[in-house]
Amino acid sequence: MTRTVYVNGNYLPETEAKISIFDRGFLMADGVYEVTSVLDGKLIDFDAHAKRLRRSLDELDMASPVTMDELLAIHRELVLQNKVEEGLVYLQITRGAPADRDFAFPDPETVPSSLVLFTQNKPGLADSPVARVGIKVISIEDIRWGRRDIKTIQLLYPSMGKMIAKKAGADDAWMIQDGHVTEGTSNNAYIVKGRKIITRPRSNDILHGITRAAVLRFAKEAQMEIEERRFTIDEAKEADEAFITSASTFVMPVVEIDGVALGDGTPGKVAPRLREIYLEESREAAIWQSERGQAALATLPLPARKYKSTAPDTAARQTILPKSGKLSSLSRIVRISQNRLYSNVMAARNIAMWLAQFRTVDIAASGYWRNRFLIAVWTQAKLGTNTISAAIDPLIRLFITPVNSESSDLGHQISIRWKERLTTFAAQISMVVIRNA
């Protein structure tokens, strides 16, 4: 099927797309780009990509031909027109097409920047079979220019690195500068030693990965230890695990470096767990990037009807109407979810969206753990019991299993900490939920 693409203000079939031969992206690689993932038809981390794009443009003194809101609208339209459920949206901004080739920058007042976008359908992107077996990497010298933090379209050497790796029977290459790993050809690099995730700190030497930032945040919230420092390729070969992150691969285990197998040559525990967390968190957050999803939530009707209560207090049997106060709003969301017979996951998602918007309950936990606990809230509200404590222990065993074995000291400590936090959270909202059930 012919794709619809976007070129300088026009949506048109890819076969009709044209760009000037004098465009500086074509002649000088004078441009920047971003790639945003699409899962379930929704954009992943668009705001972060837009912020990095703005930074890249500013660093190169390049004008954007559209606002970020307009750019978001273009993304959504392309995803819709091309029926992308899982895939990518590529955007590229160049310094435009002057009348002739010249090393000097053209006047932005007379030569507008060029903007091109297209989609790539990639069914199975989230459930990649490669992620279950991992990839092999080799090391190559890093001879790129010094501003790798700017996401430019100067991608010749990374492309050469990919081809060098393929010829060596590997999947990708990690680049080495002064004996230390910088990054992969199109991804950030990590190793795992003991209980630490080690990755190079942000600087001009590496791209400030959007997926990198999200994964590190989720890892910290999951009580994993992060150490941002340089590491050598020899240190990487001796690591327990390794992995890469990018917008198109999410979290991908690395099982071999320069022919040396890591561990038993299969993905360890950390990378697959982080991939699982990242995908689930990203899908949750992507709801807010769906314009229709936000509108649907805002207009969700509140049924004016009576709800059966199993609580001994007969006063709890009352007509549920909009109330003031955020905790009442929370119980309202539970009520709506229950009335519409949503699945427990959807109900928890609705409550999580409410919490993310109003930040009523201050719990020292990430959205990932919070959402799982909210499943317990939903389950207990549906059952009509007077306490949530019965749901906490099985949830901890099911959803809060640490990366390290539960029998380890660290695993035990993590479980205890999370149980304490969830129990406190339960005490704050359980009576509200049950009182109006």
Residue 149 · residue 206 · CB < 8 Å: yes
Ordered DSSP codes for 377-416: HHHHHHHT-S-SHHHHHHHHHHH---SS-TTSHHHHHHHH
Which member of 42, 136, 151, 162 is catalytic? 151
The highest-confidence range among 143-152, 337-346, 349-358, 376-385, by mean pLDDT, is 143-152
Ordered DSSP codes for 11-52: EEEGGG----TT-HHHHH--EEEEEEEEETTEESSHHHHHHH
Residues in the chain: 437
Residue with tokens 């972060």: 48
Of 356, 354, 403, residue with least CA distance to 378: 354
> Regarding beta strands 135-141 and 250-257, do their DSSP bridges make them parallel or antiparallel, or are they unpaired?
parallel
Neighbouring C-alpha atoms within 13 Å toward the C-beta of 394: 8
Name the β-bridge partners of 181. 176
User: Biggest alpha carbon distance in the chain?
Assistant: 83
Mean per-residue pLDDT for 223-247? 97
Specify the pLDDT at position 281.
Answer: 87
- Supply the angle between the helices 367-383 and 210-221 in degrees, to the nearest 10: 60
Residue 198 · residue 231 · CB < 8 Å: yes
Specify the pLDDT at position 210.
Answer: 97
Backbone angles phi, psi at 92, to 5 degrees: -140, 130
Q: Of all residues in the chain, what percent carry a pLDDT higher than 70?
A: 65
> Regarding beta strands 180-184 and 31-39, do their DSSP bridges make them parallel or antiparallel, or are they unpaired?
unpaired
Residue with tokens 């029977």: 169
Give per-residue pLDDT as tens, 13-25.
999 999 999 999 9
Residue 399 · residue 376 · CB < 8 Å: no
Q: What is the pTM of this model?
A: 0.69
Specify the pLDDT at position 203.
Answer: 97
Specify the pLDDT at position 160.
Answer: 98
Give per-residue pLDDT as tens, 322-361.
233 333 444 444 444 444 333 444 444 444 444 444 333 3
- Examine the pLDDT at 308 and tell me if it is beyond 80: no
Specify the pLDDT at position 402.
Answer: 37
Give per-residue pLDDT as tens, 75-107.
999 999 999 999 999 999 999 999 999 999 999
Higher pLDDT, 376 or 75: 75
Mean per-residue pLDDT for 103-113? 96
Higher pLDDT, 409 or 116: 116
Residue 428 · residue 361 · CB < 8 Å: yes
Interacting residues of 87 by C-beta distance below 8 A, sequence separation 6+: 37, 38, 119, 120, 121, 122, 123, 125
Mean per-residue pLDDT for 260-288? 89
- Examine the pLDDT at 298 and tell me if it is beyond 60: no
Distance CA 206, CA 134 (A): 23
Interacting residues of 14 by C-beta distance below 8 A, sequence separation 6+: 2, 3, 4, 5, 118
Distance CA 211, CA 249 (A): 9
Tokens of 378: 């939903």
Mean per-residue pLDDT for 302-316? 28
Query: Residue 112 carries which DSSP code?
Result: P
Interacting residues of 140 by C-beta distance below 8 A, sequence separation 6+: 161, 164, 165, 173, 174, 175, 176
Estimate to the nearest angstrom the gap between the alpha carbon of 75 and the chain centroid.
Answer: 17
Four-point Cα dihedral 113, 290, 88, 52, nearest 10: 50
- Examine the pLDDT at 128 and tell me if it is beyond 60: yes
3-state class of 77 per DSSP?
helix
- For residue 151, indicate whether it is catalytic: yes
Specify the pLDDT at position 222.
Answer: 85
Distance CA 384, CA 433 (A): 9
Specify the pLDDT at position 285.
Answer: 78
Give per-residue pLDDT as tens, 413-431.
444 554 555 555 544 444 4
Specify the pLDDT at position 424.
Answer: 52
Candidate from 191-195, 246-250, 385-389, 427-431 with smallest mean pLDDT: 385-389
Ordered DSSP codes for 298-339: HT------B----SS-GGG--B----SSHHHHHHHHHHHHHH
Backbone angles phi, psi at 21, to 5 degrees: -65, -15
Specify the pLDDT at position 436.
Answer: 40
- Supply the angle between the helices 344-358 and 367-383 in degrees, to the nearest 10: 120
- Examine the pLDDT at 151 and tell me if it is beyond 60: yes
Estimate to the nearest angstrom the gap between the alpha carbon of 17 and the chain centroid.
Answer: 31
Specify the pLDDT at position 286.
Answer: 78
**Domains in the chain, start-ordered, CATH in brackets?**
4-121 (3.30.470.10), 130-272 (3.20.10.10), 297-435 (no CATH)
- Examine the pLDDT at 141 and tell me if it is beyond 90: yes
Specify the pLDDT at position 243.
Answer: 98
Tokens of 310: 């199993």
Residue 177 · residue 205 · CB < 8 Å: yes
Specify the pLDDT at position 341.
Answer: 35
Specify the pLDDT at position 283.
Answer: 87
Mean per-residue pLDDT for 101-121? 97
Specify the pLDDT at position 223.
Answer: 86
- Examine the pLDDT at 183 and tell me if it is beyond 60: yes
Of 211, 186, 208, 284, residue with least CA distance to 54: 208
Specify the pLDDT at position 195.
Answer: 84
